[in-house]
A and B are shown apart, each in its own frame.
Chain A
């Protein structure tokens, strides 16, 4: 089976840095993805880590440690528009098929 754990809510102020953690348990691991979803919107792909280490894309970075079954999304220079839900996701292999399993999401609130 598959399980992902991430905090349900995080609050931060504009300009700050916030880290959203994700731990996972999986029978087979391919990589860790992150998606952003604004209220009333659709999930949008942010990043994918297949190997250990840090991947940077502008203000957002994503980290993976396969040995610790752990990853995080780092958001820097927070802006009000970053207020959204952030989902980590891993691919599960089951019955010869594989599919993406999403965590419950972390709701980030950015305040002035």
Chain B
């Protein structure tokens, strides 16, 4: 199995620009999670989907952030407009229904730098 795939791996952009992060979960997985990791705040859950439906987006920082999952094999996290404080590593993870949320498989992450 290919594992969770994320793109791009690195993104450098200027403040005010739109950023789109992409994720392909492991085939057959029912849950998809978006996390953000920083030194200050650690690993934070932003939003998660179950069977392509957003379940809990209470971790999304503000309206500048949005996430979609149009089908079982693709999800996007968009930041518009981006700000320097959004600089972080963004991870996508997926898991199987029968394993619940406790066993998650993480992608390699996207390191975002907003100048």
Residues of chain A touching chain B, judged by Cβ–Cβ distance below 8 Å, are 30-31, 33, 41-45, 48, 87, 89, 91, 94-95, 97-105
Q: Which of A45, A94, A101 interacts with B104 by CB under 8 Å?
A: A45
The answer to whether B91 and A100 touch across the interface, beta carbons within 8 angstroms, is no
The answer to whether B43 and A48 touch across the interface, beta carbons within 8 angstroms, is no
Residues of chain B touching chain A, judged by Cβ–Cβ distance below 8 Å, are 33, 42-43, 45, 48, 55-56, 58-59, 91, 93, 100-109
The answer to whether B91 and A97 touch across the interface, beta carbons within 8 angstroms, is no
Q: Which of A31, A42, A99, A105 interacts with B107 by CB under 8 Å?
A: A42
The answer to whether B101 and A44 touch across the interface, beta carbons within 8 angstroms, is no
Interface SS of chain A: strand
The answer to whether A45 and B103 touch across the interface, beta carbons within 8 angstroms, is yes
Q: A42-B108, A42-B109, A43-B91 are in contact. Are A95 and B43 (CB under 8 A)?
A: no
Q: Which of A41, A100, A103 interacts with B102 by CB under 8 Å?
A: A100
Q: A95-B58, A99-B48 are in contact. Are A87 and B43 (CB under 8 A)?
A: yes
The answer to whether A44 and B103 touch across the interface, beta carbons within 8 angstroms, is no
